[in-house]
A and B are shown apart, each in its own frame.
Chain A
Amino acid sequence: MTPRSEEHLVEVRDLTVEFDREGDPVRAVDGLSLRLGEGRALALVGESGSGKSTVAGALLGLHRGTGARVTGSVRVGGIDVAAAGPGELRRLRGGVAAMVFQDPLSALDPYYAVGDQIAEVHRIHAGGSRRDARARAVEVLDRVGIPDAARRSRSRPHEFSGGMRQRALLAMALACEPRLIVADEPTTALDVTVQAQILDLLHELRRETGTALLLVTHDVGVAAESVDEVLVMRGGREVERGPVARVLGAPSEPYTRRLLGAVPRLDGPLRPAAPAPKGEPLLEAVDLRREFGRGKRTVTAVDGVSLTVHAGETLGVVGESGSGKTTLGRMLVRLLDPTGGRLRYGGTEIGTLSERELRPHRRELQMVFQDPVSSLNPRRSVGESIADPLRAAGQRDETRIRARVRELLDRVGLEPDRYTAYPHEFSGGQRQRVGIARALAAGPRVVVCDEPVSALDVTTQAQVTALLADLQAELGLGLVFIAHDLAVVRQVSDRVAVMHGGRIVEQGTVEEVYGAPQDPYTRRLLAAVPSLDPVLAAERRGRRQELAVA
């Protein structure tokens, strides 16, 4: 790496990108300038729609030929991206700057072996024989920590876990020894522990190779862990930029402060402690089990879980993907039938009731789903979706249904007049509000929220969790809040249950579980949560390494 004083590795001047959306020009990036030196790391932080990914794409000239209008100048490694010929552009892409995409959206070709895909990319830039390229692929896969890389390089992407696929994408970037890695939300869909592993790996690789990093993320915590500088974006423009410690520690712009304030933190304020639950629990699960499949292929998703939910209390359930938390949530409202154990609701055993006998209880057990996009019927107006549970509960009077739906829309902070609007006319946060209104429509006593905010931006997330807390206090609901995000769960819950491999490994009040975790798995989870303080982040990285060794 030869640092060149006269030109930065990345120089973006006055970049503007416009897309046509159904005839209307949309300005995704609006006069943005930035510089990044060799070996340095910069994070573009912003909410969805802030234009951060568009900037990342512009560095590689990915908007060329897509009909987007790009003005201003982008120079990467001395190449003028707008003017570069096809050969130069190919050298830029992968050779100078390599992009690491977010994997779960399947960034690898499902039809080819992972190693072959890396080799293909490597050969374009380094030339050489197929055999050499294949050897290089195995080498980089090994470097990113794929066990038994030579053998696994012949696997197809679907045979890899999410974390391994993200590693493979990182390996692809490494294969060509680029001077810049552009990482677009590289850890967004991963579990916290896997996210921490990937970020640590990225950190280590950069220390080894001196590669510069442009990190695009909506997660301020991820940025704090990984970069030197932060650029906060909003509406395609720069809001604030500076060294990571300064921007996150002492933000000067109100928007940055708002953004940071909305980030759930492990050391943030707790909700006022609810009075200790007394009397009969509203919902009680004893040794609840659920198996899928038969014979040798039986998978036990929930393996003997016992818990209680009282009226007016929030029970947080945290765990990583595959821990069985969603299966548990669905059983609690009997969307899934338990294969073992007992489930009591208000003194009645409901785990074994037939669908017919369950009928009268259905309206009192409701669920809010994770994906506000796919959990609403796109062909029905939101008012009709909210009215569904009312109709299912036997309400026939149209005027009363309408009045109730309008009241609900108003209660969750939406315009009552939007009864006839369709889901696509709403933003993600608004759609989740619709989902909440639908859950509340029939007057439930227990609401299970399955990852209700994980698809939302931090500021929206904060609004939705606040809404849930308000509604709970007002209606005295028993709330089960399922999430993979430990900080969010901490913020909204009275008691917390930590799930791992279908079991609850630890259960207690928020103070107990977060303050003095007993189970090693809980400790690992907590250590993996990104911190907003870069100094603390470095410290935790050290602690993670210790835990990994131990």
Chain B
Amino acid sequence: MTRYVLKRLAGAALVLLALSVLVYALFYLAPGDPARLACGERCNPQQVAQVREQLGLNESVLAQYLHFLQGVFAGRDYSTGTAVVHCDAPCLGLSYQSDREVTRLVLERLPATASLALGALVVWLVVGVGTGLLSALRRGGPTERILTVLTLAGTGTPVFILGLLLLMVVCAHLQWLPFPSYVPLGEDPEQWAWNMLLPWLTLGFFESAKYARLTRSSTLETLAEDHIRTFRAYGVGERAVVTRHALRGAVPPVIAISAVDLGSMFGGAVLTESLFGIPGLGKTLIDGVREIDLPVVVGVVMVMGVAVVLAGVVADLLYAAADRRVVLT
């Protein structure tokens, strides 16, 4: 198993390397001049050229990329024109626009994204798995039909519509909650939770639809298996059959897909973050792209990559722990 993890991590490193190359290539293929944007509208051509020099944009693309790698593994120095700034490894570079260290920027934004993703995970596990289980048990009845309609509606509603609806109903109309604004967990846990509630519900409900369908179908599949018949034939009650035996079979795929979803959410749930003004990675990425801020874009994409790849490994490990028949090699 240790072997497996090491193998996967080695693969992950390669994936991340390839990802960084891809982002660099895309960035230079796209139109736009970062130096002009960084300098501002009133800059004359000489000033722009100076900024370009400072940002290292006059070097070849390959040299820039190698510098980036050097920064990641060994750290590097930046000259800001007046002083030399040292950026420790792992250094993802300095933002073109704000001169801030990207590594620090990303770490600053990560908690907001993490709170959103983890909270949403809880919501979709409770709501999604619960709904799926209920509709599997009540299959053919009116409960299932209503749940099916709700799930379909959930799958079909874009997350920003759902979020807007919640905002309008809960905050504007009913006035149960103030309009959310992000408060860091370390500052005031209670306010943090109240303000995150709507974003959690929005993202969680949206994802729940998928999990409800997944849980329903895998529970039904397990219920049709032969070992279920064995326990019924031995007088095991229906509730125990479902909760002990059928649910047990339905859980592994839910765990595996949850881990992967959670991983990709660390790259930022862009729409949800924008809608609720959460200063997370998704918003950072969008701003970075708009401002042609290569180091920021690369930095966020790297974090996303790490999260997705790690989530994949974790998903496999959890799956193997949940279903002992799976052997990881």
Contact = CB atoms under 8 A, between A and B. Distances in A.
Given A110-B323, A112-B248, A156-B325, A99 B234 contact: yes
B99 interface: no
Contact of A101 (B230, B244, B322): B230
Contact of A93 (B227, B234, B249): B234
A91 interface: yes
Q: How large is the interface on B (under 10, 10 to 19, 20 to 34, 35 or more residues)?
A: 20 to 34
Contacts of A121: 231, 234-236
Interface in A118-132: 120-121, 124-125
B274 to A, nearest CB: 42
Contacts, number: 73
B323 A101 contact: no
Contact of B227 (A60, A62, A108, A125): A108
Interface in A166-180: 169, 172, 176
A90 B237 contact: yes
A456 interface: no
Interface in A142-184: 156, 158, 169, 172, 176
Given A106-B227, A107-B226, A156-B325, A94 B233 contact: yes
A93 B233 contact: yes
Contacts of A91: 235
B325 to A, nearest CB: 5
A167 to B, nearest CB: 15
Contacts of B233: 60, 62, 93-94, 99, 101
**Most chain A beta carbons < 10 A, residue from B235, B244, B249:** B235
B324 A156 contact: yes
Interface string B310-329: 00000000000011110000
A98 B325 contact: no
B36 interface: no
A112 B234 CA distance: 16
B226 A111 contact: no
Contacts of A101: 226, 229-230, 233
Nearest to A157: B227
Nearest to A86: B237
A88 to B, nearest CB: 10
A60 B229 CA distance: 11
Contacts of A124: 234-237
A124 B229 CA distance: 16
A105 B226 CA distance: 6
Given A112-B248, A156-B324, A158-B325, A107 B234 contact: no
Nearest to B325: A158
Contacts of B227: 106-110
Interface string B212-247: 000000000000011101111111110000001100
A89 interface: yes
A98 B324 CA distance: 28
A95 interface: yes
A101 B227 CA distance: 9
A94 B234 contact: yes
A92 interface: yes
Nearest to A106: B226
Contacts of B324: 111, 156, 158
Interface in B180-236: 225-227, 229-236
Contact of B235 (A95, A109, A158): A95
A225 B144 CA distance: 50
B225 A125 contact: no
A94 B231 CA distance: 9
A110 B231 contact: no
A62 B230 CA distance: 10
Contacts of B322: 111
B235 A125 contact: yes
B240 to A, nearest CB: 8
Contacts of B225: 106
A62 B234 contact: no
A111 B249 contact: yes
Contacts of A158: 324-325
**Most chain A beta carbons < 10 A, residue from B233, B249, B324:** B233
Interface string A234-255: 0000000000000000000000
A109 B245 contact: yes
Contacts of A106: 225-227
A489 B306 CA distance: 59
A111 B323 contact: yes
A176 B236 CA distance: 13
**Most chain A beta carbons < 10 A, residue from B227, B232, B237, B322:** B227
B55 to A, nearest CB: 52
A92 B235 contact: yes
A95 B249 CA distance: 27
A62 B232 contact: yes
Contacts of B244: 120
A274 to B, nearest CB: 44
Q: For the complex of A and B, list the 8 residue pairs with the smallest distance between their C-beta atoms, beginning with the closest.
A: A90-B235, A93-B235, A94-B234, A121-B234, A99-B233, A109-B227, A111-B248, A94-B235
12 contacts: A62-B232, A90-B235, A93-B234, A101-B226, A109-B230, A109-B231, A109-B248, A111-B248, A111-B322, A112-B248, A121-B234, A125-B235
Interface of A: 60, 62, 89-95, 98-99, 101, 105-112, 117, 120-121, 124-125, 156, 158, 169, 172, 176
